[in-house]
Structure 1
């Protein structure tokens, strides 16, 4: 299948050169819009999926550390980074639909998935529905199960309650840019460099451009709410339990964030062919804090899967 022709990027916020000298920026037509990704290398594909509220930029350090290890692809979820902004609701099923179209447009097979945050929700869902196209899976700080609020930082639970309150949530996330300027920058052991924070914030300069940002935090499954998100994740459990032929890695971090002790225990007990390794010090956006460890874990997983790169 030939590669779809490229479209001009609508914003060009992602500095492709940060991913390495051979990295290139590609816009792939999907449905009524386009998904942007950064790509380098050749061979079996390794797909890196981000979550809320980041972009492919999250994986730039990891790309540099995995040079010559395969065809590296980091897409921006629809509505994020340099991907398109179609007029959709930006619910989980919408993200899944556009990401499915991207996988199909590129005809990706023999895929190793490197998944974080909502990237895990969508990546595992894709794997469960396309098991013949999956080689291996790595999970780091995944959205994969319902999260108990008692294990989350009190300040985050308070922010979530604010965001989920009609009217107040829109003012905080959309009008005042509180999610990008307060919640996101606070989720690191050490502050991001100002120039890196600016890249993450660049796609959302106006209230109009931020309107959909509220969907991901409102859809985060906490204490069983919303039920639709719990159900979205639960439908993948059978594949996770039965896919013994697909090697999987879970990385844990200290202090970590969304990978609560309860969820880690569930993964250890229920996910087939899982190996768990300590990833070091990190909160949630661990690609920024522990890129070498993450890259090393990808290499080890490829070796388990019998990849020759």
Structure 2
């Protein structure tokens, strides 16, 4: 990928940030990187990119090797001809971690980045240093705990034909749902960066998969099973400090999810991180960066 085709700008990541493209399976994964030392890996979710982490990333310069990848099919990463199911994402992401030989990793994860990051950690427990969770997809969600307009939008998206029209043809997932999940609506300039990788219906075809896979009331079972495979590691990894940040009003950390996490996840600290909805990297970058710093102190102190 040439510099002219970049959709993720570097200027807000810090003065020494750089683009890196890594060949992964039949495609390539792009990431933004800065610094050296133990890796701190920032994983985004749907339908964003590494750009979402820029303000957190810049506040952590000097704390380690900062790495913010674009998931396959997102940002400036490749678009292979795959189904873009959770196991597909994990396969590409796991290969990316292996290709870069990332070890002693602190994971900073949000949305589906949490589902994938924790799945990677559960499969490579000897390579994980610490985990910070912010608005994570981590457990099946009960619809009664979600805003009714969102539940209705999910029903629309899951309806064959109607979902494709909403997400792919009319681009309403990006232009309506995405901006509504910030505490403060993104600027026109920032929104343009989020929209840039998906200018046409053809480029948006795979965007419907993540929202259709959000586990609500046990559906789809494939997503519930994917998350269930991570529970044993979450419950037994006492040597890996974890921090769950909560936000007000928040979105995915419902009362049921919070109670489950407190009762289940080993070595977990829960901390109120202030006002935020779902894309909290824009809402509370300093609180997230402070959480990473404290988490690193916990991890280093445990050695």
Q: Structure 2 length normalisation: TM-score?
A: 0.98
Q: Which residue matches 1:282?
A: 276
1:260 is the counterpart of 2:263: no
Q: Does structure 2 retain, via aligned residues, the 8 Å contact 1:144–1:233?
A: yes
Specify which of 10, 25, 29 is matched with residue 16 of structure 1: 10
Residues 1:154 and 2:134 aligned together: no
Identify the structure with the greater helix proportion: 2
Shift of 1:293: 0.3
Alignment CA distance shift 1:10-1:155 (3 Å) = farther
Aligned residue for 1:115, secondary structure, equals: strand
1:16 to partner: Cα distance: 1.3
Task: Measure how far apart 1:9 and its partner are.
Answer: 6.3
2:135 maps to which residue? 141
Q: 2:178 aligns with which of 163, 184, 188?
A: 184
Q: How far off its partner does 1:8 sit?
A: 4.0
Distance 1:238 1:26, change over 3 A: same
The number of aligned residues is 302
**Aligned equivalents of 2:297 and 2:97: distance in 1?**
24
1:170-219 per-position Cα deviation (integer Å, ceiling 9, x unaligned): 00100000100111111122111110010000000000000000000000
Q: How many angstroms does 1:11 deviate by?
A: 3.2
| Cα RMSD, aligned residues only | 1.2
Give ranges in structure 2 of 5+ residues lacking alignment: none
Quick check: 1:293 aligned with 2:263?
Answer: no
Asked if 2 retains the 8 angstrom alpha-carbon contact of 1:58 and 1:287, the reply is: yes
Aligned partner of 2:212 in structure 1 is: 218
The 2-side partners of 1:32 and 1:183 are apart by 31
Q: Give me the whole-angstrom Cα distance separating, in 2, the residues matched to 1:186 and 1:168.
A: 20
**Structure-1 residue corresponding to 2:28:** 34
Q: Deviations over 1:83-126 (max 9, x none)?
A: 00000010101000000011001000000000100000000000
Question: Which residue does 2:99 correspond to in 1?
Answer: 105
Take 2:12 and 2:235, find their aligned partners in 1: how far apart are those partners? 37
User: Paired residue for 1:303?
Assistant: 297
1:251 to 245, 250, 255: 245
2:64 matched to which residue of 1?
70
Counterpart of 1:83 in structure 2 is: 77
Q: Give the secondary-structure state (helix, strand or coil) at the position aligned to 2:30.
A: strand
CA distance in 1, matches of 2:128, 2:183: 33
For residues 17-69 of structure 1, give each alpha carbon's deviation from its aligned partner in whole angstroms, at most 9, with x where no partner exists.
22011000000000000000000011000000000000000010011110100
CA distance in 1, matches of 2:218, 2:4: 37
SS of the residue 1:305 aligns to: helix
For residues 202 and 269 of structure 2, the distance between their equivalents in structure 1, rounded to whole angstroms, comes to 43
**In structure 1, the residue corresponding to 2:246 is in which secondary structure?**
strand
Change (3 A) 1:180 1:27: same
1:9 and 1:36 in contact (8 A); partners too: no
Structure 1 segments, 4+ long, off by >2 Å, are: 7-11
Partner SS for 2:300: coil
